[in-house]
Amino acid sequence: MNVHHLELFHFVAKHGGVSAAARHMPYGIQQPAISAQILQLEDALGVTLFQRRPFKLTAQGRELHEFIAPFFNGLGALEERLRGGSGGRLRIAAPEIVQGDYLPLLLRQVRKRLPEFHFTLVAERIGGIEEQLREQQVDIGLASMSGRCPDGLRMRELLRLPMLLLVAEKSRVTSAEQILSQDRISQPLISLPATEPVSRLFQAEMARRKLSWNPAFELSSLDLVSRYVAEDYGVGLTLAAPARRWPKGVRALPLPDFPGVVFCALWSGRLTPAGEVFMEEAARLARSLSQVKM
């Protein structure tokens, strides 16, 4: 049996005739075309499926329609489930700093538009996010980047975050230039691991300036960088997130002319409707935060 013929018969049986079926089809098709293809279905089966005038299903027509109706009637619900439900469901990956400083505000805005919105959240850095997107374990990743968009993924830049140095409040250093102008920098550098975008961009710029300053401490989060600086273990490398407050005992020093780190959203393939709303709100929030003094 031809599935397209079965679809046409389902609409004829459901709506009580060929003319009514033509009005309710989800795509354009004329009554003569429907009638001709229903005749082909009847010829293939060797039975009459319905009386034409007045319309009435035959016993064979009722049996066939009872069999195919659950499939065709259930396609709408199946489409909704595959697209994430009426409110939408997203699997999100983001590093700790994004989960704390940015994501709660974003999710609040998404839920205003999609009250039934649901999500799952995993903590990942850029390398893990790329892997999970390629394996389709998450739908959207939020992270900082230091290069071009990874192959096979799509990217939308949301913000560019300036790099900063952190010093202990009691330090006599008042500018980054006081540190970078030394022939040999004496202060220990505290940073994220070398694979992190902020660390890679910083070291690339240092090399471009023919300066050397390798980290003495590689820590797992920017919050830890701040804490170690507050304890006066060295100078920290961090990012100027919008409206972020530094802990007590720490001062921030701008790094003029150093490149900013791109904060972006990453995804693979086509976004679901919930994903589109998420991206719209992510961009809107990013524009709002970009107006906040860092």
Q: What is the pLDDT of residue 77?
A: 73
Q: What is the pLDDT of residue 276?
A: 93
Looking at the structure, do residues 278 and 145 belong to the same domain, yes or no?
yes
Query: Would 226 be classed as within a structural domain?
Result: yes
Query: Would 277 be classed as within a structural domain?
Result: yes
Longest CA–CA separation in the chain, Å:
99
Q: Of 73, 92, 114, which residue is a domain's last?
A: 73
- Confidence tier at 87 by pLDDT (50, 70, 90): low
Q: What is the pLDDT of residue 204?
A: 96
Q: What is the pLDDT of residue 151?
A: 86
Looking at the structure, do residues 114 and 247 belong to the same domain, yes or no?
no
- Confidence tier at 59 by pLDDT (50, 70, 90): very high
Any idea which of 119-123, 230-234, 249-253, 287-291 has the lowest mean pLDDT?
A: 287-291
Query: How far does the chain reach from its first CA to its final CA, in angstroms?
Result: 66
Which residue, chain included where needed, has tokens 């004496």? 186
Query: Would 79 be classed as within a structural domain?
Result: no
Q: What is the pLDDT of residue 168?
A: 96
What is the CATH classification number for the domain harbouring 107? 3.40.190.10
Looking at the structure, do residues 167 and 284 belong to the same domain, yes or no?
no
| This prediction's pTM | 0.65
Q: How far apart are CA 159 and CA 263, in angstroms?
A: 5
Supply the mean pLDDT for the chain: 90
Query: 213-258 pLDDT, tens per residue?
Result: 999 999 988 889 999 999 999 999 999 876 677 889 999 999 989 9
Q: What is the pLDDT of residue 243?
A: 61
Cα–Cα distance list, 274 to 116, 120, 246 (Å): 10, 13, 34
- Confidence tier at 83 by pLDDT (50, 70, 90): low
Q: Three-class SS of residue 70?
A: helix
Q: Secondary structure of 230-272 in the HEC alphabet?
A: HCCCCEEEEECCCCCCCCCCEEEEECCCCCCEEEEEEECCCCC
What average pLDDT score do residues 267-282 get? 92
CA-based nearest residue to 107, from 287, 274, 291, 294: 274
Contact, 194 vs 215, CB < 8 A?
A: yes
Number of domains in the chain: 3
Q: What is the pLDDT of residue 1?
A: 84
